[in-house]
Amino acid sequence: MRLLIVEDSIDLVDVLRRQFDAAGFPVDHAGTVEDALLMLGMGHYAAVVLDIGLPDGDGRTVARRMRDVGDTTPVILLTARGSVADRVAGLAAGGDDYLMKPFAPEELIARIQALLRRSGMVVDRELACGNVVYDPVTRDIRVAGLPTILSARELGVLEALIQRHERVVAKGRLEAQLFGMDDELGSNAVEVYVHRLRRRLTDAGATAQIVTVRGVGYMMIEAAP
């Protein structure tokens, strides 16, 4: 699930990018109102982290434009302004949540996860394929009842496949979920992470397997007994 951060402080963006990447959220970045509106028109995001104070205008303009065109993507507003009037204005413009600067990145991630659950983008029940069980709230994985540790992008592949198990997930959809616009991708980037996930699941004794649908994408199915 890709996020868009609209923030003109490069230092803050760098910190958030590292935190989000570790949590399995690839990030795109816009530093102005104009760039944010352009990027929102080009791609789909799971959530938007939106600073109010931007060099070319009020960030709330972005939220307002999103809602005007029917875009219901969750928006968390960031600001150094803490008055009740400011918070009310931000929510009235289309924001779903409000976070005061300075803040802990962990709190921002938790708020995003809560918004995704409320919007239905993240279910609050465990998902399973064979003996592989995934908890989308805690993002924990168990294989045959035992915890299994994956890298952030391996986890992203598993999440995309197990949510649609026994259905094909297009390679392009995996690319969009795993990587941001600023990531330099090799032609086989998705294949690399699928291969790593396959190996980890096999080593853990999984009864789920990832099938390649040539020319289309991948599918997770329960292995035949």
CA–CA gap between residue 178 and residue 21 (Å, rounded) = 9
State the average pLDDT over residues 4-8: 94
Going along 81-213, which residue ranges are E strands?
A: 97-100, 127-129, 132-135, 140-143, 146-147, 169-170, 208-213
Q: Cβ–Cβ contacts within 10 Å for residue 123, how many?
A: 13
State the average pLDDT over residues 95-113: 90
Both 202 and 95 in one domain: the answer is no
Both 166 and 183 in one domain: the answer is yes
> Tell me: the pLDDT tens digits for 66-101?
999 989 899 999 988 767 787 888 888 899 998 988
- Contact predicate 83/151, CB 8 Å: no
**Angle between helix 84-92 and helix 60-68 axes, rounded to 10 deg:** 30
- Residue-level pLDDT at 186: 65
- Residue-level pLDDT at 181: 64
Domain harbouring 59, CATH code? 3.40.50.2300
Query: What's the number of CA atoms in the CB half-sphere (13 Å) around residue 53?
Result: 8
Both 114 and 150 in one domain: the answer is no
Is residue 184 over pLDDT 80? no
State the average pLDDT over residues 8-27: 88
Both 142 and 202 in one domain: the answer is yes
CA–CA gap between residue 197 and residue 120 (Å, rounded) = 26
CA–CA gap between residue 157 and residue 215 (Å, rounded) = 18
**Token pair for residue 74?**
């969750």
| Helix ranges, 43-118 (H) | 60-68, 84-92, 105-118
Rounded to two decimals, what is the model's pTM? 0.68
Both 13 and 81 in one domain: the answer is yes
Is residue 117 over pLDDT 90? no
Q: What residue numbers bound the domain in which 106 lies?
A: 3-118
Question: Higher model confidence: residue 175 or residue 211?
Answer: 211
Number of domains comprising the chain = 2
